[in-house]
Chains A and B, each alone.
Chain A
Amino acid sequence: MSVLVYVEQAEGKFKKSVFEAVSYAKAIADQQSTNLTAISIGDVADSELKELGKYGASKVLNVNADQLKTFVNQAYASVIAAAAEKEGANIIVLSNSFSGKGLAPRIAVKLKAGLADGAVELPSTDGKFSVKKTAFSGKAFAITELTSANKVIALNPNAFGVKENATDAAIETFAADIKQSDLGTVIKEIVRATDKVSLPDAELVVSAGRGLKGPENWGMIEELAGLLGAATACSKPVSDADWRPHSEHVGQTGIAISPNLYIAIGISGAIQHLAGVSSSKVIVVINKDPEAPFFKVADYGIVGDAFEVVPKLIEALKAHKG
């Protein structure tokens, strides 16, 4: 019995959310008094794989096959499940990323495993193996018992944090048996905006709503986000009006996020919007309407016109940064 963590690479590098998943998986391995093995698929340099040892992976399986250089959901799931069986791993951990959301259910079916996705805490292991996960679009949590022998857990970004736990990672080549029928999807193009912070795993988020009056006024939002190193987001009416792309829409029918800091500017705080952001650690609301429902769930608030407050906030932030 051991724990296996899938470490998703992008262009040969691991992101913070991967190190977080490794830290989380290491804590589970400690709970179970067993070892942690990581599996990487794609072209990743040994020096980058060694980094995984810093967070507690004592072994790294490296799968670097030509057909698997870019993401193929079906084939990746087969390789991870095969590695779990070979390693005798009964707990498989991955990041609840876009790719992770496609992989975890397939792995769960292959291993006849219960799946907890959107996990926000370490499992509790007092007789039952239960995982707390988000439900009802952030309006609640479901304590989900994984009753099967094998278990798959997909961890929400920013839920656990990165924890160093240095060990020396032994890197092994893992020879994957790739079925042609698993290669049904073919990637034609990957577009990554490299100058922007990715929203789903951002630690800081600056978000704006209809109070901004039009897409031409987003300059100050982007400037504020740029100074903070934050991702930008928006409310549903804003993406519905095509002022901002759908990928920025947070809320019940958009994406749910849990950053350390969420700054909401000109967003009233409808229940559907709050659902997607209520697990943010700190919420700041800037709104000219003192009755805006968002103030009820905020930690800090400024009642004022965004067009006056935001430029002043930018000045104050510049002064703070010196």
Chain B
Amino acid sequence: MKILVCISNVPDTTTKITFTNDNTEFNTSGVQYIVNPYDEIALSRAIELTEGGKGTVTVINVGEAANDPTIRKALAIGADDAIRINAAPRDAYFVAKQIAEYAKDKDFNIILTGRESIDYNGNQVAAMVGEFLDIPSVSIIKKLAIDGDTATIEREIEGGKEVLTVSGKFIASCAEGVAEPKIPNMRGIMSARTKPLTVVDAVAVEEVTKVTKYETPAPRGTVKLIPADQTESLISLLHSEAKVI
């Protein structure tokens, strides 16, 4: 079994998000980058499914050379080899097209991504790759089991869950529950340095979106504190002032 896992290079979850150049660019100054946490879940499940000689895991990232430390981290967690498509990622459509172009003539049985990247929160890449490759896609999955050629998948729906099966090639985006994120051990970190990381040229893709400006949420006013023994005042404020109950 050959599994391809798509990983994003994203700001650490504790990053304070600010912008520069008249709020048109993300301020990368002092930002630590990590493997997107959801992609780590996908990668960890891929490693579990292929452990013991049952297959191989390739990670793919669309990005510039600055992403290599993040890609090495994925190799340290346990991927066998890595591909970097050498281009600054423009949007999900661009990234998905690059991944699909790379994967179309390879024989990956399964492609996994995280449910979304924590920077642009798109939820887009998995389903777009699925469409470019004309294979089934399942978004935001909670469980993934493989039996021969058939995968059994649990996905979240509003107020419940759906269990479905898919045979043959497919792509899925993974959420919490699919696997516990693996932490690289010393041997993994050592071997990551020598695992193959292949750089591949990007293909041209038409532009469909463009971020023109960023905004940060409007600050809230000061908190109105209510004494702990006056819960009825809170109820009446929520009813008559905030008008939410």
Contacts and interface: CB of A to CB of B under 8 A. Distances in A.
B104 interface: no
Given A109-B96, A253-B38, A142 B120 contact: yes
- In terms of DSSP, what is the predominant structure of the interface of chain B? mixed
Interface string A61-101: 00000000001011001000000000000000000011101
Contacts of B239: 320
B160 A312 contact: no
Nearest to A70: B162
A74 B14 CA distance: 36
Contacts of B105: none
A interface, by DSSP: helix, strand, loop or mixed? mixed
A115 interface: yes
B49 interface: no
Interface residues of B, number: 86
A147 B207 contact: yes
B225 A303 contact: yes
Counting contact residues on chain A (CB < 8 A from B), the size range is 35 or more
A129 to B, nearest CB: 10
B137 interface: yes
A247 B208 contact: no
Contacts of B19: 140
A198 B137 contact: no
Contacts of A115: 92-93, 122, 124, 208-209
A142 B93 contact: no
A282 interface: yes
Given A98-B155, A254-B176, A117 B164 contact: no
Contact of B245 (A103, A261, A312): A261
Interface string B211-222: 111111100110
Contact of B216 (A139, A181, A297): A139
Contact of B223 (A71, A190, A298, A312): A298
A20 interface: no
Of A101, A141, A283, most B-chain CB atoms within 10 Å: A101
B153 to A, nearest CB: 8
B13 A253 contact: yes
B244 A279 contact: no
A199 B93 CA distance: 29
B121 interface: yes
Given A135-B121, A299-B223, A300-B224, A252 B217 contact: no
B6 to A, nearest CB: 13
A109 B92 CA distance: 11
A170 interface: no
Contacts of A113: 208
A165 interface: no
A46 to B, nearest CB: 24
B179 to A, nearest CB: 12
B63 interface: no
B224 A143 contact: no
B186 interface: no
Nearest to B211: A142
Contact of A188 (B17, B164, B224): B164
Given A135-B121, A140-B17, 6 more contacts: A143-B212, A185-B153, A260-B244, A295-B223, A313-B235, A320-B236
* 6 pairs of A and B residues whose beta carbons are closest in the complex: A304-B228, A198-B159, A102-B139, A184-B136, A114-B208, A105-B127
12 contacts: A73-B127, A73-B139, A112-B208, A113-B208, A117-B121, A194-B159, A239-B176, A254-B176, A285-B223, A299-B221, A300-B238, A316-B234
